Amino acid sequence: MQPDEFRRIGHEVIDWIADYRERVGDLPVRSQVEPGWVRSQLAPLPERGEGFGGLLDDLDRVVVPGTTHWQHPGFYAYFPSNASLPSVLGDLISAGLGVQGMLWSTSPAATEVEQHLMDELVGAMGLPPSFVGGGVIQDTASSAALVAMLAALHRSSGKWRQSGVDGTETVYVSSQTHSSIERAARMAGLGEEAVRSIAVDDVLGMDVTALARQIQSDVDSGRRPVLVCATIGTTGTGAVDPVAEIAEVCARHGIWLHVDAAWAGPAALCPEFRGVFAGVERADSFCANAHKWMLTAFDLSLFWTAHPDVLVDALTILPEYLRNSATESGAVVDYRDWQIPLGRRFRSLKLWSVLRWYGLEGVRAHLRGHVDLASRLAEWVAADENWELVVPRSLSLVTIAHRDGDEATRRAMDAVNAAGTAFLTHTTVNGRFAVRVAIGAEATREEHVRAMWEALRSNR
């Protein structure tokens, strides 16, 4: 494909994306196809190349019907996955440049744009100055959790890289913590038996007294506590762990504190929401997904550590074929040493595009709008005789249930999902089935939330 062909076909592709976004609200939110249908519609791979016309036809004929539309204004499932059009263009520019930014020398811009954005966001989000110089873009919060765990292991035992884990290590989560932490423990070689699940309090935050008791018990029995994960905005209900109190416990024992704010993290851009982030200034690492609620297309997770030297020391292996004068000068950062894979995309261009288009105030307006909609929904639920809040609203997440019990709640949710105008998912709270309403799609407005709520009320 020559540049002139790319220009012509590229216009067609951009037009297709724009048309899709214009009509996405008219499509069923969740794909209606049966398992195997998409594959049944696909032709064998062509022996001879063909134009893009057939591919664009297949997008409409096969891909769109087989897609759950995360950018739909009626998408309230899981957590949002904002892919604003400015971030789509940033992703296109990144792909067009086609760089592999594993080293500073392989693309200085890929490294330094990222450094600039991560340091600027420290101030914009009210994060501690200790994070300046310690920011890096990971693909997801799962990868962020793994690199935090590897750094924590390395700090816990300076000989870890040479000798491996010794089976005495322990990691602490709550019953509400995301499964990625347990998975990271497996991948780091600790195994499931190293993970301690701590009970939660009445508002589903980690019970600090229980945490302190478990850590002391492990220390007394010869175990080596390595990491505690505190969550700001759990997946189930948006619960917030008492980070400041957890930090006190970690400090007493020299344990790495990782704070997972994958969904809620972008809310720190708004000063009025920073109360939920109390204690983060004492964290060893912190992550927030820009690809959830910060208008940036998947995948882009913001990760900071107050100890980049520990992280780099834990992950650095320098073969001869990667040696270069810039690295050896010590004047540059090589982000390959801050992550699991060697190769790196120029992901920061997506975020840079978002911040240049919307500005910080535009992103704040996006966040505030969703919190306001969730607040209104919570008020409607509180005023209803048949539905109730299962836990207090958490930012833009509202967790509700029908007073008649689990089956009534499930039937109402299933009916709304079947109608195709909205998509909801569930959780369980103290054994009770509850509907999660995660408001966060860029296109969602009050009329969409009200329509979803009225649909829930009319089905039970």
The pLDDT of residue 355 is above 60: yes
| Dist. CA 334–CA 443, nearest whole Å | 38
Identify the pLDDT of residue 160. Answer: 46
Q: Is 324 exposed, middle or buried (0-12, 13-18, 19+ CB in 10 A)?
A: middle
| Dist. CA 395–CA 397, nearest whole Å | 6
Total number of domains in the chain: 1
Identify the pLDDT of residue 459. Answer: 75
CATH of the domain at 193: 3.40.640.10
Share of the chain above pLDDT 70, in %: 98
Identify the pLDDT of residue 164. Answer: 63
Identify the pLDDT of residue 165. Answer: 82
Length of the chain: 460
| Order of all β-strands in the sheet with 387-389 | 387-389, 397-402, 432-438, 425-429
Other C-beta atoms lying within 10 Å of the C-beta of residue 135: 23
Identify the pLDDT of residue 167. Answer: 87
Other C-beta atoms lying within 10 Å of the C-beta of residue 278: 15
pLDDT in tens, 35-63: 999 999 999 999 999 888 899 999 999 99
Which domain, by its residues, includes 125? 99-345
Burial 194-212 (b: 16+ CB within 10 A, else e): bbbebebeeebbbbbebbb
Residue 312 lies in a domain: yes
Residue 298 lies in a domain: yes
Residue 259 lies in a domain: yes
pLDDT in tens, 79-122: 999 999 999 999 999 999 999 999 999 999 999 999 999 999 99
Q: Mean pLDDT over residues 61-79, rounded? A: 97
Other C-beta atoms lying within 10 Å of the C-beta of residue 418: 12
Q: Mean pLDDT over residues 248-277, rounded? A: 97
| Dist. CA 227–CA 244, nearest whole Å | 15
Identify the pLDDT of residue 225. Answer: 96
Residue 111 lies in a domain: yes
Residue 92 lies in a domain: no
> What predicted TM-score, i.e. pTM, was given to this entire model?
0.95
What letter represents residue 264's amino acid? A
Query: pLDDT band for position 230 (50/70/90)?
Result: very high
Q: Could you tell me which residues are beta bridge partners of residue 398? A: 437
Residue 9 lies in a domain: no
Burial 215-241 (b: 16+ CB within 10 A, else e): beebeeeebbbbbbbbbbbbbbbbbbb
Q: DSSP assignment, residue 306?
A: S
Residue 208 lies in a domain: yes
Residue 141 lies in a domain: yes
Q: Mean pLDDT over residues 201-222, rounded? A: 95
Task: Quote the Cα angle for 232-118-231, to 5°.
Answer: 10
| Dist. CA 397–CA 371, nearest whole Å | 8
Q: Mean pLDDT over residues 293-311, rounded? A: 97
| Dist. CA 349–CA 240, nearest whole Å | 31
pLDDT in tens, 143-167: 999 999 999 999 988 654 444 688 8
- 76 CB-side CA count, 13 A: 34
Cα 27 to Cα 60, 81, 125, 448: the distances in Å are 12, 17, 36, 14
Can you spell out the DSSP letters for 139-193? Answer: SSHHHHHHHHHHHHHHHH-TTHHHH---S-EEEEEETTS-THHHHHHHHTT--GG
Identify the pLDDT of residue 444. Answer: 97
